[in-house]
Amino acid sequence: MNTSRIWLSLAHMGGKEQEFIKEAFETNWVVPMGPNVDGFEKDLESFLGNDVHVAALSAGTAALHLALVMLGVGAGDEVICQSFTFAASANPITYLGATPVFVDSEMDTWNMCPLQLERAIIDRISHGKKVKAIIPVHLYGMPAKMNEINAIALKYKIPVIEDAAEALGSFLDGKACGTLAESAILSFNGNKIITTSGGGAFVSHSEDETQKSRFLATQARDSAPHYQHTQIGYNYRMSNVVAGIGRGQMLVLKSRVEKRRSNNEFYRNELKSIRGVSFQTEPDNSFYSNYWLTSILIDPTLTNGKTREDLRLKLEQENIESRPLWKPMHLQPIFSDSPYYGTGISDFLFERGLCLPSGSILSDSELHRVSKVIVDFFR
């Protein structure tokens, strides 16, 4: 094969990242704190707005773990989590000995279904269970129906943690994803909309909670010269070196979102006449997705039986990476004992859905190469 591989989503540096890293070296701030960490947190706070505070951590998974610790989640508790997501949304629940309860998606945004959420809460309460938190996810950048989810959460007095790992730069009603609940988590893993190579953040409307997350993330060290501890701590703080990458990436975040959205627009135009292909789409203009990954559904009853898997293999043959949508957590062997509330929507989406190459680094000719393979495949 002489054509170069097209990847799903690659890191895309802006150019200034190494200046911040150089500064970290020159000032010997090569530790898990320092001016880049502080600066990155400030940059995120001003981008997100809505009066949130941010603690930069080693991973989004670590941020979610700490968010659950701070809500007092422990053995025997339950945490409601969107089923249609990446495993990192659910794994931290189990770190604390709690049980994830999975809730299905709705068809509009592909995220947590408010109806199934309420059904789950009522049923868990009737079983005498304690639901300590709700974790909705903004999948592929699409904001979940947070107004409905928050209203239900308020009714039953259960705190909400937004998993905004894929949704930095997405908005609902003009408010940034990551600021739509009491707390949220972000990820800066290598394939996310911006990256620090690996990293994450805890986001909260409460300055005290954010400060507490920093405390827990640095081994819960009390303020005493002799290393005193009254709580179990973690080593989850972000390094000042990688925070330099984050500061550089914040300079280009807006243009990264624009490019991902323009990729999405491109695919929509190119594929619009293909019967049986549809897109994850903003339900109305109160939803603004960063379209981290452009995701399509293939209806084999309208494509002469051609399936998502057929297309994926065809793209692979042409040296193009694509990926099925996340396999829902209630279908994962590891979570087969966890309760699930739903009507099979995420199963349906998983069966039919495919993520297309969506990186902000993609060139026009690469996008054309992908769309041509898809158009020819269905012709």
On the 0-12 / 13-18 / 19+ scale of CB atoms within 10 A, 376 is exposed
Q: Restricting to residues 275-314, name those near ligand PLP by CB under 6 A.
A: none
Closest CA to 40 of 190, 232, 243: 243
Q: Which stretch binds ligand PLP (CB under 6 A): 7-15, 160-168, 218-226, 279-287?
A: 160-168
| Least distance CB 163 / ligand PLP (angstroms) | 5
| Least distance CB 366 / ligand PLP (angstroms) | 23
| Binding residue count for ligand PLP, defined by CB under 6 A | 14
Tell me whether residue 350 or residue 378 sits nearer to ligand PLP (CB atom).
Answer: 350
The owner of tokens 């941020």 is 63
Q: Which stretch binds ligand PLP (CB under 6 A): 57-65, 67-75, 100-108, 309-317?
A: 57-65
**Residue 88 makes contact with ligand PLP by CB under 6 A:** yes
CB–CB of 353/346 below 8 Å?
Answer: no
Tell me whether residue 137 or residue 177 sits nearer to ligand PLP (CB atom).
Answer: 137
Q: One symbol per residue from 171 to 200: x for binding ligand PLP (CB under 6 A), - otherwise; what is it?
A: ----------------x-x----------x
**Residue 61 makes contact with ligand PLP by CB under 6 A:** yes
**Residue 60 makes contact with ligand PLP by CB under 6 A:** yes
**Residue 142 makes contact with ligand PLP by CB under 6 A:** no
Tell me whether residue 163 or residue 318 sits nearer to ligand PLP (CB atom).
Answer: 163
Residues of this chain that bind ligand PLP (CB under 6 A):
59-61, 85-86, 88-89, 137, 163, 165-166, 187, 189, 200
